[in-house]
């Protein structure tokens, strides 16, 4: 074998290991920062019904386990993962930039300007909700219970090729881009005079799908993912927690029919390569439902190029939301 080629491969391997090590260290830092929030005064903490964080914790697992990406993933999505972790750290470290003499009410003009800026930045839909404590991950906390919920579309063409390198790159790129935009929008709210706290879409501080349901953006399917009229299950979610008390908080949800439809479908359950989607969800005392066995979902996500098969196979990914609703309503009559 050519010596130059061997040296090149060896150097490439060293660079990959260095990047993976740096990402793991930053994930550890991010988790420490997140847990430190729960130790502060005057924060909204998790409660007994809160779920555990789905990402494995690099501070608590044996050496050598994938956390949550292996060396082979680095050439594919290393830069996107690195960006996501950095933006997650930034979301917490910049809390100190909140204005001290902050406003608590937003005017109609200020809200319109914020929403216009969000949509110009690439946000597909925005909703507002009061955050139930049982949606906060264990050992985590947020500063405020007023939530601005943001969703960003994932590319339909790339989803249709799942599992594939193209799909994996697109999924991780969406996480990274939405994370940057979420921090940018948080800065915008601070500059307008409000206190704000961003939560990154990758991991995050709360359980996003039920929060988005509370905000009226859609409903969760049997795969545990949010389904919206705009994108079906093809989106990622983030949130900004703010001190604003007069946001147009959602009070109803017209998408609840999705639950009955999904129970009659089951394509995602049948297509999951690792049996991670429960045939019958576990319902907790708080009303929160567990649809996914994370211990089965995360490993296949890591090993199978981001998997995403459940999103690909979901009928809402390929058919029009309103067409499905109309046909399903007619069949029930």
Band of residue 316 on the pLDDT scale cut at 50, 70, 90: very high
Three-state SS at 238: strand
Cα separations in angstroms, 321 against 213, 220, 258: 16, 14, 10
- The runs of H, that is alpha helices, within 38-107 are 74-93
Distance separating alpha carbons of residues 121 and 185, to the nearest angstrom: 9
Give pLDDT, residue 5: 43
28: CB partners within 8 A, 6+ apart = 58, 59
DSSP state of 302: H
Specify which residues 30 forms β-bridges with: none
For range 210-234, the mean pLDDT: 96
d(CA 35, CA 205): 10
Q: Are 144 and 195 in contact (CB under 8 A)?
A: yes
How many Å apart are CA 145 and CA 165, to the nearest integer? 38
The pTM of the full predicted model, rounded to 2 decimals, is 0.92
Q: What is the DSSP letter of 250?
A: -
Per-residue pLDDT band at 287 (split at 50, 70, 90): confident
Residues constituting the chain:
333
| Tokens (6 digits) for 203 | 């991991």
| Per-residue pLDDT tens over the stretch 153-177 | 999 999 999 999 999 999 999 999 9
- What distance in Å separates the CA atoms of residue 294 and residue 161, rounded to the nearest whole number? 23
Q: Among 77-86, 287-296, 303-312, name the one with the lowest average pLDDT.
A: 287-296
Residue 274 CB: number of other CB atoms within 10 A?
17
Give the position of tokens 């199978």.
304
Q: Could you give the CA distance from residue 27 to residue 181 in angstroms, rounded to a whole number?
A: 20
CA distance linking residue 242 with residue 137, whole number of Å: 18
Q: Does the pLDDT at position 60 exceed 80?
A: no
Model pLDDT, residue 211: 97
Per-residue model confidence as pLDDT tens digits over 174-194:
999 999 999 999 999 999 999
pLDDT beyond 90 at 281: no
Q: Which tokens go with 218? A: 């859609």
pLDDT band of 289, cuts 50, 70, 90: confident
């Amino acid at each position: 074998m050519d010596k130059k080629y061997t040296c090149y491969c060896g150097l490439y391997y060293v660079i990959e290991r260095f990047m993976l090590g740096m990402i793991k260290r930053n994930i550890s830092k991010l988790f420490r920062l997140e847990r430190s929030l729960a130790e502060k005064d005057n924060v909204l903490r998790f409660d007994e019904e809160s779920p555990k964080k789905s990402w494995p914790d690099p501070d608590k697992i044996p050496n050598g386990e994938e956390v949550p990406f292996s060396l082979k993933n680095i050439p594919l999505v290393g830069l996107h993962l690195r960006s996501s972790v950095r933006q997650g750290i930034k979301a917490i470290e910049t809390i100190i930039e909140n204005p001290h003499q902050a406003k608590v009410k937003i005017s109609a003009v200020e809200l319109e300007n914020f929403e216009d800026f969000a949509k110009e930045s690439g946000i597909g839909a925005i909703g507002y909700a009061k955050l139930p404590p049982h949606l906060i991950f264990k050992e985590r906390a947020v500063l405020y219970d007023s939530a601005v919920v943001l969703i960003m579309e994932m590319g339909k063409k790339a989803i249709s090729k799942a599992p594939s390198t193209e799909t994996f790159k697109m999924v991780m790129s969406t996480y990274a881009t939405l994370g940057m935009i979420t921090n940018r929008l948080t800065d915008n709210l601070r500059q307008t005079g409000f206190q704000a706290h961003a939560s990154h879409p990758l991991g995050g501080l709360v359980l996003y799908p039920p929060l988005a349901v509370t905000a009226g953006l859609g409903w969760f399917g049997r795969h545990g993912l949010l389904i919206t009229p705009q994108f079906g299950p093809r989106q990622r979610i983030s949130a900004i927690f703010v001190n604003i008390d007069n946001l147009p908080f959602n009070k109803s949800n017209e998408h609840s029919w999705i639950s009955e439809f999904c129970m009659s479908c089951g394509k995602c359950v049948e297509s999951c390569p690792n049996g991670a989607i429960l045939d019958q969800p576990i319902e907790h005392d708080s009303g929160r439902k567990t649809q996914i066995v994370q211990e089965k979902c995360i490993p296949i996500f890591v090993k199978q190029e981001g998997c995403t098969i459940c999103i690909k196979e979901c009928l809402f990914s390929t058919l029009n939301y309103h067409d499905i609703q109309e046909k399903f309503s007619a069949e029930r009559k």
